[in-house]
Amino acid sequence: MTPGHFGLLFRRLAPCALGLGAVMGFAGHNANAADAQLVLAKTGWLYVGGHVTTIDNKQYTVGQMYAEYMIPAKQTHPYPVVMVHGGTMSGTNYTGTPDGREGWAQLFARAGYAVYVVDQVGKGRSPYFPDVYGPNAATDNAQVASLIIGWTNKSIATKTAK
What pLDDT, in 10s, does the model give residues 20-67? 443 334 334 344 555 678 999 999 999 999 999 998 899 988 888 999
Helix/strand/coil for 129: coil
Residues of the chain falling short of pLDDT 70 = 1-35, 136-145, 147-149, 151-162
Query: Using the 8-state DSSP alphabet, how is residue 114 labeled?
Result: -
Round to whole Å and give the CA distance between 85 and 141. 11
Q: Which of 91, 89, 90, 69 is nearest to 80 (CA)?
A: 69
pTM over 0.75: no
pLDDT recorded at residue 4 = 58
CA 141 – CA 121 distance, rounded (Å): 9
* Contact (CB, 8 A) for 152 and 80: yes
Instruction: Please enumerate in sequence order all residues whose Cβ is within 8 A of that of 39, keeping only pairs 6 or more positions apart, or say none.
Output: 72, 73, 74
- What's the CA gap between 63 and 147, in Å, rounded? 10
According to the model, what pLDDT value does residue 102 have?
95
Q: Angle CA(146)–CA(120)–CA(45) in degrees, nearest 5? A: 95
Pairing of strands 81-84, 115-119: parallel
Q: Quickly name the fold that domain 40-161 has.
A: Rossmann fold (3.40.50)
Strand pairing report for 40-55 and 81-84: unpaired
| Distance from C-alpha of 128 to C-alpha of 124, rounded to nearest angstrom | 8
Residue 72, classified by CB atoms within 10 Å of its CB into exposed (0-12), middle (13-18) or buried (19+), is buried
